Amino acid sequence: MLLINKENIYILGIESSCDDTSASIIHNGKVLSNITATQVDHEKYGGVVPELASRQHNTHIAVVVKEALDKAFITAKDLSAIAVTAGPGLMGSLLVGVSFAKSLAFGLQIPIIGVHHMHAHILAHFLQEPTPAFPFICLTVSGGHTQLVKVNAYNDMNILGSTIDDAAGEAFDKTGKMMGLPYPAGPIIDRMAEKGKPNISFSKSKMDGYDFSFSGFKTSVLYYLQAEVKKDSNYIEHNINDLCASIQHGIIAMLTEKLIKVVNDTGIKRVAIAGGVSANKGLRSELQKLASLYGWELFIPDFQYCTDNAAMIGISGYFKYLDGIFDDQQLVANPRLQF
Ligand code: KG4
Ligand code: ZN
Question: For the chain, what percent of residues have pLDDT higher than 90?
Answer: 91
**Ligand 1 site-directed mutation target among 142, 183, 302, most atoms within 8 Å of CB:** 142
Per DSSP, the three-state class of 260 is helix
Label residue 1 by pLDDT band (50, 70, 90).
very low
Q: What is the pLDDT of residues 303-315, one digit of tens each?
A: 999 999 999 999 9
Among the listed residues 206, 203, 17, 189, the one whose alpha carbon sits nearest the alpha carbon of residue 120? 17
**55 CA to centre of ligand 1 in angstroms:** 22
In angstroms, rounded to a whole number, what is the distance separating the alpha carbons of residues 178 and 190? 16
The chain-wide mean pLDDT, for the chain, equals 95
**228 CA to centre of ligand 2 in angstroms:** 34
For 12, the enclosing helix (H) or strand (E) is strand 10-15
In angstroms, rounded to a whole number, what is the distance separating the alpha carbons of residues 268 and 312? 24
Among the listed residues 173, 292, 161, the one whose alpha carbon sits nearest the alpha carbon of residue 221? 173
The sheet carrying 136-141 orders its strands as 156-162, 146-153, 136-141, 270-274, 297-299
Q: What is the pLDDT of residues 29-72, one digit of tens each?
A: 999 999 999 877 777 787 888 889 999 999 999 999 999 999 99
In DSSP terms, which residues pair with 271 in a beta bridge? 137, 298
In angstroms, rounded to a whole number, what is the distance separating the alpha carbons of residues 157 and 170? 24
Q: Which atom of ligand 1 is nearest to the CA of 121?
A: 1
